[in-house]
Structure 1
Amino acid sequence: MKTRSLRWRLTWVSVKCVLVAWLVWLGCQIWQLSRAHYGFWDESQREIAAQILESMPDGLDRLPPRERPPINGRIRDHKTSWQVWANGRNVVYSLAAPNEPLKPDFTDGFARRVINGEKWHVYSLSDPRRGLVVQVGRSKEMVAREVRTWVGMSLLAALLIFLLFVLTVWVVIGRSLRPLTALRKTLQARPPLDLTPLAAPGLPTEFNPIVSAFNEQLTRVDQAVQNERRFIADAAHELRTPLAVLSAHADLARRAEDPAERNAALRRLSAGVQRAARLSEQLLDLARLDAGTEAPELVPVDLAPLLVIVVRDFETLARERHQRISLQTEDSRILGDIDQLGILIRNLVDNAVRYAGEGGHAAVTCRREVHDGVASIVLCVADDGPGVPMEDRERIFHRFYRANGGAERGSGIGLSLVARIARTHHARIEVDGGLEGRGLAVRVFFPASDAGS
């Protein structure tokens, strides 16, 4: 499909509208002029006849008839012809007047006649006292020629005005769109990753919403690019040490000659692989959340079955550490995204199992509570490990922050994912002491799905 520029379209529409309006006006003017001319000519003929009659001296009836010169084309171009008759003789006349009387009955008033094959509109006025009769007339050909002359001049003037209008519209629209052309050149000259908002001074008001929407999109793209850059840098930094440790353990196991030493190195290698796998999984979760440009669609979800699935996944790891995981749930329906909730629960349980230590206890509970008439679903994951100092509890949800102390060394990603998903679900987080006065307890308060019913 052939497309035309906005400048061409605006100019063409403006030209068509003006052209149609002008044609209608011209038709009305010609019709009105044709009607008005007859009324104007009637009055003009009366005045001409009266003036000629008043200007005629006495004694015209004694003048002999004058010889008429030959009538040429130039003389016939005269608009009005007139004759003065005295006692039946044409004593005074205009050069373009015919030989015969314009009005043979010589009675006062208007008449239409055919003279020498031409239609005439004539008027006669008499002075009985002096025996004078003045006759004034115009041929229809003269009238038509006058109208054609007026139309021709009007068309010529209109054509010049029309061309001037087209040129003016074309120039004005071009100048109005000049800031848009400058904006295009600015965009073309930009580096590929320059996502700063566009400045569009002088741009027509109609284009401001487009530029604003484009700037908003640039902001979102810039945020996504910055998140991706930050994730790549963080992932490279976080994976460098575990991979170096794995390489060292692998070299140790390869060089070890004593079976016991080799087995110890392989166990450390296996533990390092698990830590690297966990870190990779958390980094992928983080990347998935960073890539989301829109808030997830929250649908009714029951946390109880989800908790059972996640806790069962960690039972094997807990048995290896001689740990115990307890689970207590009740009807726990909230509005949420099941994938993100799975990441939140998995990171909370993983954090508790990892820090509970050998022979520790991790307790997972989910129940309904009502505070100040507002129902909430409270998910609590607690352990009896070393816990976190009071001054560090607010910072454990910051990305890549690691609390001091403890045998385990985390990645600093898990709880930051928990905080981020909680914000997405309009949930509130509280941190307190864990089981039997030891460890850490993390409580997440979700709005109940029936809280507003």
Structure 2
Amino acid sequence: MSAPAAPAPATPAPAAPAAVADKRCRGTRSLRWRLTFVLIKSVLLAWFVWMGCQIWQLGREHTGFLDNSLREIAEQVLASMPEGLERLPSRDPKRVTVPVAADRKMSFQVWAQGRNVVYSAAAPLEPLKPDFRDGFARREIHGERWQVYSLTDRQRGLVVQVGRTKQMAIQELQGWILGSLLAAALILVVFGLAMWMVIGRSLRPLTTLRDTLRQRPPLDLTPLPSAELPNEFRPLVDAFNSQLERVDTAVQHERRFIADAAHELRTPLAVLSTHAELALRADTLEEKNAALLRLRAGVQRSARLSEQLLDLARLDAGEESVRLAPLDLSDLIVLVIRDFETLARERRQRITLRAEPTRLLGDVDQLGILLRNLIDNAVRHAGADGTIAVSCHADGDDAVALCVADNGPGVAVDDCQRIFDRFYRAPGSPDGGSGIGLSLVARIAQTHGARIECGEGLERGAEDPRGPGRGFEVRVVFPAAPVV
């Protein structure tokens, strides 16, 4: 019997390197790191440039800095000498002294009556400046190059000579450079920490904003607070808030569409189900045909309602992306009327058209929806044997008028404005209306900068079998297209 196979070793998760790479990428894109690094690098570069200039200036043989320092030291030494130096013994050439720390920077001699009476430990036995004349000089002493300065006090008969070897100058320069480097390093550390803290404190509102976003519910689209943000980030958050407002508007439109569709389709669907049940339970062919005719009418009403709801949703979704272009309204009217010829023939209705070539700026899809709803509304209200009149013409030099009139029962004056509200149906409206069509007309007219006027339509005389009536007319006035 063979032993069971050993389980295959688990392969490492491939996401770990990606996570490390993502963390490195975020680190390189950190605004805090980049600002601190750039500022420190800029300060360091400026300091190195300044340091190079100073070193170049101090390293010159004829630099005034070394000469001035020797002059100042000579003046200080001469001023500090007491009276009676001429009584001091001269320097013992056999006496060996150990140079102190000060002798590493410079050496001095004080001569009184030709004798070296005061001197620094490392000063040579011979005069630094043998001619004892005031001023600067450069000379070789025991194989070393010296820069010396001599100063005379003729009243007391004193001569002070101060000198510095080239090695002393180099050591002093090195000490100055080392001190400057240490000071610069300390300044850079303090500056870097200060910049890190200042930038972190400035970006703290962004961290608070991030935490606020993480704690929000998924559909919370309220604007983000921007009062505490730095001025550089406020435009970004304001633009994001503007986008949130647009998303919130789209979400509200979607919610409203779902609620409207659920409300408006619930009853028609229930009626369709009832008609289907009646058709299934009918005992005779006449009852079944009657139920099927009612079912067909219900399906037509539901289809029309669904189409209007979809048009409404399409308008809500694309209200900010309307594409206006020059078009001839009369051509569009002819195309739309053809879609209603069959329905009008079934109802024994007559549609008349009087259209002049009229150009305006409009969106073809939206104007098609507007025309279909106006004509559909007139066809439904005109009833059997009714008349619908459609016309378009220039209304002055800067406007185009579209008129759709019928000889139906008309609309009361008090309802003329309310019929353009969503889901409002005037009293006495025929069955099958949803109250959406004219609200779509109002929305599209507003999008195109048009105004809507209501009035009396095609009157019916007393001889009309439906009785007298004044009808109803909707007049939409569009701005005319500019002449190119």
TM-score normalised to the size of structure 1?
A: 0.91
Question: How far, CA to CA, are the matches of 1:135 and 1:126 in structure 2?
Answer: 9
Question: How far, CA to CA, are the matches of 1:109 and 1:273 in structure 2?
Answer: 119
Q: Residue deviations 1:403-447, cap 9 Å, x none?
A: 111443400000000111111111111111110152211111111
Pairing partner for 2:431 from 408, 412, 424: 408
Counterpart code for 1:229: R
Q: Secondary structure at the match of 1:69?
A: coil
Closer, same or farther: CA 290–110 of 1 in aligned 2, 3 Å: closer
**Partner residue, 1:4:** 29
Question: How far, CA to CA, are the matches of 1:155 and 1:388 in structure 2?
Answer: 93
**Partner residue, 1:388:** 411
Deviates most, 28-37 or 346-355: 28-37
**Partner residue, 1:28:** 53
Counterpart code for 1:389: A
Pairing partner for 1:348 from 367, 370, 374: 374
Q: Residue deviations 1:370-398, cap 9 Å, x none?
A: 1xxx4321111111111111111110000
1:442 aligns with 2:474: yes
**Partner residue, 2:279:** 253
Question: How far, CA to CA, are the matches of 1:365 and 1:118 in structure 2?
Answer: 115
Correspondence list, 1:189-338, <5 A: 189-338=215-364
Residue correspondences, number: 446
**Partner residue, 1:397:** 420
Question: Sequence identity, in percent?
Answer: 61
Contact 2:223–2:245 (Cα < 8 Å) also in 1: yes
Closer, same or farther: CA 91–277 of 1 in aligned 2, 3 Å: closer
Contact 2:390–2:403 (Cα < 8 Å) also in 1: yes
Closer, same or farther: CA 116–392 of 1 in aligned 2, 3 Å: same
Contact 2:108–2:123 (Cα < 8 Å) also in 1: yes
1:81 aligns with 2:91: no
Closer, same or farther: CA 30–141 of 1 in aligned 2, 3 Å: same
TM-score normalised to the size of structure 2?
A: 0.85
Question: How far, CA to CA, are the matches of 2:410 and 2:155 in structure 1?
Answer: 139
Closer, same or farther: CA 69–306 of 1 in aligned 2, 3 Å: same
Question: How far, CA to CA, are the matches of 2:216 and 2:134 in structure 1?
Answer: 89
Contact 2:400–2:477 (Cα < 8 Å) also in 1: yes
Question: How far, CA to CA, are the matches of 1:130 and 1:425 in structure 2?
Answer: 108
Deviation at 1:19, TM superposition (A): 1.3
Q: Secondary structure at the match of 1:112?
A: strand
Q: Secondary structure at the match of 2:217?
A: coil
Q: Secondary structure at the match of 1:378?
A: strand
Deviates most, 394-403 or 380-389: 380-389
Question: How far, CA to CA, are the matches of 2:157 and 2:293 in structure 1?
Answer: 147
Q: Secondary structure at the match of 1:279?
A: helix
1:357 aligns with 2:383: yes
**Partner residue, 1:379:** 402
Segments of structure 2 that go 5 or more residues without pairing to the other structure are 1-21, 460-468
Contact 1:179–1:201 (Cα < 8 Å) also in 2: no
Q: Residue deviations 1:288-317, cap 9 Å, x none?
A: 001115141210111112111111111111
Closer, same or farther: CA 258–142 of 1 in aligned 2, 3 Å: same
Deviation at 1:135, TM superposition (A): 3.8
Closer, same or farther: CA 233–65 of 1 in aligned 2, 3 Å: closer
Deviation at 1:144, TM superposition (A): 2.2
1:114 aligns with 2:140: yes
Question: How far, CA to CA, are the matches of 2:211 and 2:153 in structure 1?
Answer: 86
Question: How far, CA to CA, are the matches of 2:105 and 2:223 in structure 1?
Answer: 75
**Partner residue, 1:18:** 43
Contact 1:49–1:124 (Cα < 8 Å) also in 2: no
1:152 aligns with 2:178: yes
**Partner residue, 1:140:** 166
Question: How far, CA to CA, are the matches of 2:85 and 2:331 in structure 1?
Answer: 128
Q: Secondary structure at the match of 1:16?
A: helix
What is the RMSD of the two structures over their aligned residues, measured on CA atoms?
Answer: 2.5
Question: How far, CA to CA, are the matches of 1:121 and 1:355 in structure 2?
Answer: 117
Contact 1:108–1:123 (Cα < 8 Å) also in 2: yes
Q: Secondary structure at the match of 2:395?
A: strand
Contact 2:111–2:118 (Cα < 8 Å) also in 1: yes
Contact 1:48–1:136 (Cα < 8 Å) also in 2: no
